[in-house]
Amino acid sequence: MASTIVVDKIQKTGGVAFVLPVADGNAGQSLQTDGSLGLSWGNVDPIIAKGGDIASASPTVIPDGNLYYDVTGTTGFSAFTVTAGRHFILQFDAGIVMTHHATNLDLPGEASITTVAGDVAEFVATGTNTAQCINYTRADGTAIVATNLTNTAITTADQSWTGSQRATTVTDNDGSFDLNLGQNFICTVSSGTIAMTFTNIPNGQSGYIKFINSGATMTAHANTKVDATLLATINTAGTYLISYFTDGTDVWLTTSAIYT
């Protein structure tokens, strides 16, 4: 049974009286004060505690009082019955479809959410029976709103490319190729003895080197693997297309004949 307390004055211990609110308060509200000792009725901040379980319904009813509730059942909904100003957190015990509504149930990404057991959602009631989800955490930690999936490749899934996928060539004329810089290279040499070297060798990269030699003598670094004739071929002045493949440790080369 609800009780009504009627007072004509609330006074500080120092003797100064607070100014009482003009209107009566409602259930679930508390007296709040400002810096001028004026009292007014305001929505109660929820108790930082877990309330009783809430059965999913359409709409789902959020009681006043506690901050955190478990939602049981599998009935979908697109709105809450909730007091304006309420801040509340729900953990879902089963799969429920929450249907996005721009006013009544504003969800991340403006899209409906199918919950799974263990998901947690945080809401603020922006008005009576209107709520906005300000945070949603999946039980497995994945994001509720994916980042630009329309134009983003998921690296664990097969892809069908409709746009051009290509790497810009890297010019490197010292015979040492940093594979972090690119996939395909252009190398022009003219004099001296140069060891063909690769750095930052990943597992599984392949590409090409347009190799132009007008007088240098090429050798191979220990992790640059060539066949018995490759160096003799490219040490003849001319233009060649060298292909390579990496296994994480070594780089394996083949070359074309001289281009005319």
Q: Do 106 and 79 share a domain, yes or no?
A: yes
Within-domain flag for 32: yes
Within-domain flag for 232: yes
CA distance 144 to 122: 13
Considering its fold, how many domains does the chain have in total? Answer: 3
Phi, psi angle pair for 109, to nearest 5°: 75, 5
Tell me the pLDDT tens digit for each residue of 162-195.
888 788 999 999 999 999 999 999 999 999 999 9
Predicted confidence at residue 78, as pLDDT, reads 96
Amino acid of residue 130: T
Within-domain flag for 142: no
Q: Do 187 and 105 share a domain, yes or no?
A: no
Q: Do 23 and 75 share a domain, yes or no?
A: no
Within-domain flag for 203: yes
Q: Do 102 and 31 share a domain, yes or no?
A: no
Q: Do 29 and 75 share a domain, yes or no?
A: no
Q: Do 52 and 133 share a domain, yes or no?
A: yes
Amino acid of residue 260: T
Within-domain flag for 146: no
CA distance 123 to 255: 64
User: In order along the chain (260 residues), what is the average pLDDT of each group of 10 residues?
Assistant: 59 67 67 64 64 94 91 96 94 95 93 94 95 94 69 71 85 96 97 97 96 97 97 97 98 96
For residue 36, give its domain range.
12-44
Q: Do 18 and 83 share a domain, yes or no?
A: no
